[in-house]
Amino acid sequence: MKNEAAHTFIADILVVDDIRENLRLLSKMLVAQGYHVRPVSSGARAISAIQDQYPDLILLDIIMPGMDGYEVCRQLQADESTRDIPIIFISALNETFDKVKAFAVGGRDYISKPFNEKEVMARVKTHLSLHFTQQSLKTEIAERKRVEHTLRQYNQDLALVNRMGQALQACQVEQDTYEVITDTCIQLFPGSSGQLLISRQSDTELESVAHWGDASAALQPIHAADFVYPDTPHAVVYPDAGQTVSQFGYSQQAQRFYVPVTSQNKLLAVLSIALEHEETENLADDLQHSIKSKHLLIIEMTEHYALALVNLRLREMLRIESIHDPLTGLYNRRHMEASLEREIHRAQRHQKPVAILMLDIDHFKIFNDTYGHKAGDAVLKEVGELLNASCRGEDIACRYGGEEFLLILPNAMLENTLKRAERLLQTVRQHHVSYQKKNLAITASMGMAAYPEHGSDIQELVGAADAALYQAKEQGRDQVVLAV
Ligand SMILES: Nc1nc2c(ncn2[C@@H]2O[C@H](COP(=O)(O)OP(=O)(O)OP(=O)(O)O)[C@@H](O)[C@H]2O)c(=O)[nH]1
């Protein structure tokens, strides 16, 4: 195939001579050897013929009216794009001086007139062969440089994505990852704009959490519902593109790339990379090409990010679970103890009060025995909701254990807290728990204690509230008692 291609290639030779007879003779000889020949009769015409199409070789007369052969050669040498075209001077000037000058201005060879046909052909053949070898070497070198550059760029980008992976591992919460991702995109796709959108669990909307580049280009609303998952994992269908794109794809209509970050067919986040740019159309084309060529890196990047998001969300879920009571959703005893300790320290530092209310449902055992454990659970849940609803921003409601609850009320004055406690008991009293079409009435008792009046650490405060609660039970229940 290669030989065949070489066979069909016809070298293009420009012959420049002001004497018609020479032109005719040289052209005839060259055409007879199968070359494509363009004869021209002056230096100026030679320059314009070369600009029309670069020849593979030039046979150039020296003495011509107007622009002589030396000048033609000088001009071609001065231009990067024509410098490598081989020039063979053919001249009647036979002095050594003329020949040296011909080489000095850039000629590759020199043939004296009257020329010998065989000599001309041999020299033409040799210079064409040298020229083509040189050209293919140049192409090879350029290709190697291009490959080297691509490899270097790829290694740099890979190192960047690896650094991103390490930075993601160091993130403690999901919010920390947003900057890591946008920073990576800025470096990976220079000149682009874009935004990172997060898909929350069970949410159909995507929340834009960070952007880079030109805000007006970057911030374009998109919806999680636009991302539909067919059978192929990671594949995505763009409604406007009307086609399935594997991993990520370009939306012609929106003029941007959408890069979904997924795990087990669930959408976790979307990177929207905009290519619109004020400067030139070309830049957008270059960017589009650059992003397409970074396909593997983008996949690597989204896989890192998906893993980081899944880990952080799992960690956050475990953290939330570890401090909450699963039945009521209130904080658990462990979190209560840590919070109360912190609040007492804060109160000591700022010389402010902290009150605690310990609440216990009255006759809960009888309730359980009468209506069953599930009804008891429903009561615990609803009391938990009532407590939560009665909390102000800084209050902390916890399930202390069993049917006991504890409220931590920072900055609460004794008198106000007593009033709040009574209102809360009234709310519990008036609230009827509906369970299996029955309306079940309950009451609760409370013990109240406060820092600094009733203790200066958790044990003392909780002990005082517990004793006050015992007192409330003793005095007939459904009431609040202040510790002594
Ligand atoms: N349904 C249900 N019951 C629970 C739970 N935790 C503890 N209990 C029950 O709560 C009841 C607490 O009973 P007691 O400590 O004797 O007190 P009480 O019956 O509320 O009586 P007083 O506190 O004196 O008014 C027990 O029957 C426990 O089984 C729970 O998570 N769900």
User: pLDDT tens, 87-119?
Assistant: 999 998 878 888 899 999 999 999 998 889 999
464, HSE (Cβ side, Cα atoms, 13 Å):
19
- The reported pLDDT for the residue numbered 426 is 96
In this prediction, residue 220 carries a pLDDT of 65
Residues of the chain with CATH 3.40.50.2300: 2-137
pLDDT tens-digit readout, 336-345: 999 999 999 9
- Give the residue with greater pLDDT, 292 vs 323: 323
Alpha carbon 410 to its chain's center: 43
In CATH, 171-320 is 3.40.50.800: no
Distance from Cα 402 to the centre of ligand 1, integer Å: 6
Closest residue (by CA) to atom 4 of ligand 1?
402
Higher pLDDT: 148 or 226? It is 148
Helices (H) and strands (E) in the chain, counts: 15, 19
pLDDT band at 246 (very low <50, low <70, confident <90, very high): very low
Q: What is the structure's pLDDT at 147?
A: 87
Q: pLDDT band for position 241 (50/70/90)?
A: very low
Q: Comparing C-alpha atoms, which of 401, 405, 403, 396 is closest to residue 355?
A: 396
Q: Rounded to an integer, what distance in angstroms lies between the CA atom of residue 381 and that of residue 369?
A: 18
How does the average pLDDT of the chain come out, rounded? 87
C-alpha distances (whole Å) from 199 to each of 121, 228, 267, 272 are 74, 13, 6, 13
**How confident is the model at residue 274, as a pLDDT?**
79
Give the range among 17-21, 199-203, 234-238, 421-425 with minimum mean pLDDT. 234-238
Q: What's residue 95's pLDDT?
A: 82
The pLDDT assigned to 41 comes to: 95
Q: CATH 3.30.450.40 occupies which residues in the chain? A: 171-320
pTM recorded for the entire structure: 0.66
Q: Give the least confident one: 39-43, 260-264, 327-331, 394-398.
A: 260-264
Q: Identify the CATH number of the domain defined by range 333-482.
A: 3.30.70.270
Q: Ligand 1 centroid vs 469 CA: distance in angstroms?
A: 15
- Identify the band that residue 244 occupies on the pLDDT scale cut at 50, 70 and 90: very low
- Distance, CA 419 to ligand 1 centroid (Å)? 26
Q: What is the pLDDT of residue 1?
A: 39
Indicate the top mutation candidate among 365, 425, 466, 474 to test ligand 1's pocket, ranked by most ligand atoms within 8 A of CB. 365
Lowest mean pLDDT among 38-47, 119-128, 238-247, 254-263: 238-247
Instruction: State which ligand 1 atom lies nearest to the alpha carbon of 379.
Output: 1
Residue type, 285: D
The pLDDT of residue 6? 45
| Predicted local confidence at residue 459, as pLDDT | 95
CA atoms of 363 and 370, how far apart (whole Å): 11
365 Cα: distance to centroid of ligand 1 (angstroms): 5
Which residue, judged by its Cα, is nearest atom 3 of ligand 1?
Answer: 376
Kindly report the CATH number that applies to the domain delimited by 2-137.
3.40.50.2300
Question: What pLDDT band is residue 5 in, cutting at 50, 70 and 90?
Answer: very low
Residues near ligand 1 (Cβ within 6 A): 360-365, 368, 373, 376-377, 380, 402-403, 473, 477
Q: Which atom of ligand 1 is nearest to the CA of 376?
A: 1
From the CA of 369, give the closest atom in ligand 1.
Answer: 27
Q: Determine the 3-state secondary structure of 328 from DSSP.
A: coil
Average pLDDT of the residues in 72-88? 96
Mean pLDDT score, 123-149: 93
The b/e string for 147-174 (b: 16+ C-beta within 10 A; e otherwise) is eeeeeeeeeebeebbeebbebbeebeeb
Q: Looking at the DSSP assignment, which residues form a beta bridge with residue 438? A: 435
- 374-396 confidence digits (pLDDT tens): 999 999 999 999 999 998 889 99
Using pLDDT thresholds of 50, 70 and 90, give the confidence band for residue 331: very high
Mean pLDDT of 471-480: 96
ipTM of the complex: 0.95
What share of the chain in percent tops pLDDT 70?
85
For the ranges 210-224, 236-250, 450-464, the one whose mean pLDDT is highest: 450-464
pLDDT of residue 245: 47
- The pLDDT, as a whole number, for residue 170 is 95
| Per-residue pLDDT band at 465 (split at 50, 70, 90) | very high
* Ligand 1 center from residue 451 Cα (angstroms): 28
Integer Cα distance of 480 and 414 in angstroms: 12
pLDDT of 294 reads 75
pLDDT for res 247: 54
Cα(321) to ligand 1 centroid in Å equals: 23
User: Cα(373) to centroid of ligand 1, in Å?
Assistant: 10
Mean pLDDT value of segment 11-20: 96
Three-class SS of 162-226: HHHHHHHHCCCCHHHHHHHHHHHHHHHCCCCEEEEEEECCCCCEEEEEEEECCHHHHCCCCEHHH
